[in-house]
Chain A
Amino acid sequence: MTEQAILQIMDIRKDFSGLEVLTSVNFTVGANERFAVIGPNGAGKTTLFNVISGKFPATSGAVLFKGRDISSQSAYRRARMGMARSFQITNIFQQLSALDNVLAGVRSHQGLRYNLLRRPHHDQRLIELSEAILERIGLQDYRDVPAQELAYGQQRALELGVTLSCDPELILLDEPTAGMSRKETEDAIQMISRVTRDIACVIIEHDMNVVFTLADRISVLHYGVILACGAPDEIRCDQKVKDAYLGEDES
């Protein structure tokens, strides 16, 4: 493994018609690193993900992915380059089966997007790849169940599955355990640490247990700026962070 950076966030600013949500955000994520972003509600974490993944452009600053400036690339191009994201609010294909949900990404990764002759459901390889993903997220027994009929925890797992489906090199996970029970959260941590064994991951979380278990490095986003950035132990002891965030969280 090279220690080269996969993602570089350089001086990102974002404002929504006057409301400045991100003031100046800088950090670098190494290949194969698990990087956590924490911060209070409304700190701008999801906005940061939207900028990185290309949902909307930053007001200023640059996003470098695998060393290339992708700031002006559209979301679908970033996805094709190997960046995938999940959503805080489950954002899957509700009417489709679990298999079809992951198949969408699997075939996109294989370049089978607009083909007028080939039928994805008749391609054994695609089906096998999709089933492999369902197995990784523990939904192999729910292959043909419409997403909307799955339990909440399973839908969150499928959210992760869809994110993994285009075989990304970097995944951005936006509160993957939001709304889960303790048991479900335990499972989710297991699952995430398994699937990120050899890919980079940026994860937004509120659950400190999840963050300190999973993350190699943590940065604290506080109203638009990075307050601190470092290994879990450094963050735990950081006085600024304690004052601004951890303190209120533990009370």
Chain B
Amino acid sequence: MMPKTKPAYLWAWPLGLALLAALPWILPPYQLRLVTEATIFSLYAVSYNLLLGYAGLLSFGHAMFFGVGAFAAAVVINSMEGVPLFLALAMATALTTLAGLVVGLLLLRVKGTPFALLTLAFNALFYAIAVKWHTVTGGDDGLTVFPSVVNFGLLSLDPGKGPDMYYLTVLVIGLAVAFCCYFTRTAMGQSVLLIRENEERMRFLGYNTNVARLMLFIITGALAGLAGSFYAIFNSFVSLDAISIEMTTKVLLMTFIGGTASFAGPIVGAFFYTYVQDFLSDLTDNWPLIMGTLFILMVLFAPGGLSGLVKSLAARLPGAKDKGSDRDD
């Protein structure tokens, strides 16, 4: 919980950044695409875990925001000729924020299991709307997206090119993930944790816990929307898949397999899922079955996810230090 300064690791920062910058020269294009995709999903999963792991809110409807972000970005880019990419992203995120507000106001009237149920129902509603609203979403055909080149003065990045898209993703998504990490330490992030721990006491300390929950729901929705926008741009295409229950299942699997008890867990999960899917789908069409089985096995035997497993292994090693600040309960 307390901020730790680790001067010994300071050298790791420039090294890591240099590695990130050099990746397009190191990796073949296909691998670079995988990294880009996994990075986008990292934000999706991290935002989801702010709900599940930090606030203890189990949602089965995160894809509605991912999907709204994806479609909104596509529609803005397609309908406004030459709109700057960042403006399009901002507009898409604003729209997701609005969606989060409306859905949150309605759904957060209930808690626990009914909340989980309703999030799934609303995801299904969003999907049905996307199917029906053919003129905007393209229905079953989806939409193709061709974003314009981003100009940073001297440097310009073309989202249509693999390395450029990679840099854009690392920049924007990386910043968003960093914000999420920062968020967990902010007053708001801490309040969310405390509310999960003892909501009644928080109310008697002057916190409007309903507002806090709503704010969190909106913020995480907006972040998922940003991830969705990037997903659309990354694929130059957006289909109903982006707003489907499968997309919700995906974030659930990623987050849980990675581990909900630590900030890095969902990132681990996003990369793990992306690579394992890539590997398995070459071998069999039934890779979701394997992924699902893995998920069930983890629920049964490793509820802390991969990062939980790593932690408990590390704790058993000789010379392991303190348990660390484990929020798992």
Cβ of A194 within 8 Å of any chain B Cβ, yes or no, is: no
Judge whether A118 and B205 touch: CB under 8 Å: no
Cβ of B327 within 8 Å of any chain A Cβ, yes or no, is: yes
Judge whether B197 and A75 touch: CB under 8 Å: no
Judge whether B3 and A162 touch: CB under 8 Å: no
The interface centre, meaning the residue of A79, A104, A118 with most chain B CB atoms within 10 A of its CB, is A104
Judge whether A108 and B206 touch: CB under 8 Å: yes
Chain B interface size band reads 20 to 34
Judge whether A107 and B187 touch: CB under 8 Å: yes
Cβ of A190 within 8 Å of any chain B Cβ, yes or no, is: no
Cβ of B117 within 8 Å of any chain A Cβ, yes or no, is: no
Which residues of the other chain, B, contact A85 by a CB distance below 8 angstroms?
204
- Of A96, A107, A114, which one neighbours B212 at CB under 8 angstroms? A114
Cβ of B215 within 8 Å of any chain A Cβ, yes or no, is: yes
Which residues of the other chain, A, contact B185 by a CB distance below 8 angstroms?
119, 121-122
Cβ of A27 within 8 Å of any chain B Cβ, yes or no, is: no
Cβ of A125 within 8 Å of any chain B Cβ, yes or no, is: no
Cβ of A92 within 8 Å of any chain B Cβ, yes or no, is: yes
Cβ of A132 within 8 Å of any chain B Cβ, yes or no, is: no
Judge whether A104 and B202 touch: CB under 8 Å: yes
Beta-carbon contacts under 8 Å, B206-221 to A? 206-209, 211-212, 215, 219
B182 to chain A, nearest CB (A): 8
- Of B1, B206, B208, which one neighbours A121 at CB under 8 angstroms? B1
Question: How far is A172 from B139 in the complex, measured between Cα atoms in Å?
Answer: 60
With contact pairs A93-B198, A95-B329, A114-B212 given, residues A79 and B205 touching in the complex (Cβ less than 8 Å): yes
Question: How far is A114 from B190 in the complex, measured between Cα atoms in Å?
Answer: 9
Which residues of the other chain, A, contact B219 by a CB distance below 8 angstroms?
116
Judge whether B201 and A91 touch: CB under 8 Å: yes
Question: How far is A121 from B3 in the complex, measured between Cα atoms in Å?
Answer: 7
Per-position 1/0 for A88-122, Cβ under 8 A of B = 00011111110010001101110011111111111
Nearest-neighbor residue (CB-CB) of B208 within chain A: A76
The interface centre, meaning the residue of A96, A112, A114, A166 with most chain B CB atoms within 10 A of its CB, is A114
A236 to chain B, nearest CB (A): 33
Cβ of B186 within 8 Å of any chain A Cβ, yes or no, is: yes
Beta-carbon contacts under 8 Å, B2-34 to A? 2-3
Judge whether A114 and B215 touch: CB under 8 Å: yes
Judge whether B201 and A113 touch: CB under 8 Å: no
Judge whether B2 and A115 touch: CB under 8 Å: no
Question: How far is A112 from B197 in the complex, measured between Cα atoms in Å?
Answer: 19
Cβ of B133 within 8 Å of any chain A Cβ, yes or no, is: no
Question: How far is A122 from B188 in the complex, measured between Cα atoms in Å?
Answer: 14
| A-B contacts besides A113-B207, A114-B187, 8 pairs, CB < 8 Å | A53-B204, A76-B207, A94-B197, A95-B197, A104-B202, A114-B215, A122-B3, A166-B205
The 3 closest A-B pairs by CB, nearest first: A79-B206, A115-B187, A108-B206
Q: Which residues of B contact A (CB under 8 A)?
A: 1-3, 182-183, 185-188, 190-191, 194, 197-198, 200-209, 211-212, 215, 219, 327, 329
